[in-house]
């Protein structure tokens, strides 16, 4: 039997599909990718017209509206920024991301947009002096979900103090990337920095603390993967 060796591109595309297999937004991710493929051909004739077409796609518009409203609602009482201010930077960033996207990226367009649009709102807040100096996004959620000490020997294990630039940012990520149990734990950790494994067990009706530990580790892994790009 002859075995055909897969190309690097084939392996990469298969890996991308496997990674999102259980994502809640899987269908939206694939649908937007198919729309982008059509755009890639149409832009050879008229790039601006094709780009405007994909910017008006329901998935892109929905992402911009959702993220814009989330940030605006979180900051409207503490700043002079309007919803239009957020939407303006969101559309500008979406334009750049779509125009520079390539099918051979390790991440889908949907993922680039989600990550980039959130970052554009963070940048706007930073320019307005509404947030502190940029923190390491690779580690700040990991710190929030890491327990101190030996899981097997201590009765009470305390989550490290959790700090984020904006509650809106983390809430968006939680809703989009975690399953129901993980969302409960993530919100519990954010709500109380003294959350213990016993608290997690009680929240999820788990029998063993090791089960709670595994849930926290899954959240950490997802957050790390989300921030590697």
Asked whether residue 140 is domain-assigned, the answer is: no
- Max Cα-Cα span within the chain: 68
* pTM for this model (two decimals): 0.59
Asked whether residue 169 is domain-assigned, the answer is: yes
Q: How far apart are CA 50 and CA 119, in angstroms?
A: 25
Q: Examine the domain organization and report whether 13 and 119 are in the same domain.
A: yes
Q: Examine the domain organization and report whether 75 and 182 are in the same domain.
A: no
Q: Is 178 exposed, middle or buried (0-12, 13-18, 19+ CB in 10 A)?
A: buried
Q: Examine the domain organization and report whether 14 and 121 are in the same domain.
A: yes
Q: How far apart are CA 27 and CA 14, in angstroms?
A: 16
pLDDT (tens digit per residue) in 176-200: 788 888 888 888 887 776 778 888 8
Chain mean pLDDT for the chain: 77
Structural domain total, the chain: 2
pLDDT (tens digit per residue) in 51-109: 888 889 999 999 999 999 988 988 888 788 889 899 989 998 999 899 889 888 888 99
Name the band, by pLDDT with cuts 50, 70 and 90, for residue 165.
very low
β-strand partners of 147: 159
Q: Examine the domain organization and report whether 14 and 122 are in the same domain.
A: yes
Here the tokens at position 59 are 């998935």
- Name the residue with tokens 């559309």: 91
pLDDT (tens digit per residue) in 105-164: 888 999 999 999 998 998 888 888 876 554 444 444 445 444 443 333 333 333 333 333
Q: Examine the domain organization and report whether 120 and 172 are in the same domain.
A: no
Per-residue pLDDT, 158: 31
Residue 77 lies in domain: 8-128
């Amino acid at each position: 039997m002859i075995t055909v060796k897969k190309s690097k591109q084939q392996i990469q595309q298969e890996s991308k599909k496997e990674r999102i297999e259980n994502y809640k937004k899987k269908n939206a991710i694939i649908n937007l990718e198919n729309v982008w493929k059509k755009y890639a051909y149409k832009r050879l004739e008229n790039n601006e017209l094709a780009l405007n077409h994909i910017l008006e796609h329901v998935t892109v518009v929905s992402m911009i509206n959702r993220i814009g409203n989330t940030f605006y609602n979180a900051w409207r009482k503490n700043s002079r920024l309007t919803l239009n201010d957020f939407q303006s930077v969101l559309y500008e960033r979406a334009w750049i991301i779509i125009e520079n996207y390539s099918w051979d990226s390790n991440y889908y367009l949907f993922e680039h947009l989600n990550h980039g649009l959130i970052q554009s709102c963070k940048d706007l807040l930073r320019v307005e002096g509404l947030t502190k100096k940029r923190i390491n996004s690779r580690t700040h959620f990991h710190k929030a979900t890491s327990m101190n000490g030996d899981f097997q020997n201590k009765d009470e294990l305390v989550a490290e103090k959790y700090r984020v630039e904006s509650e809106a940012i983390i809430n968006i990520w939680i809703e989009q990337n975690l399953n129901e149990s993980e969302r409960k734990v993530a919100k519990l950790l954010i709500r109380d920095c003294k959350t213990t494994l016993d608290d997690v067990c009680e929240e999820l009706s788990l029998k063993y603390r090791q089960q709670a530990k595994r849930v926290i580790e899954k959240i950490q892994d997802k957050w790390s993967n989300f921030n590697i790009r």
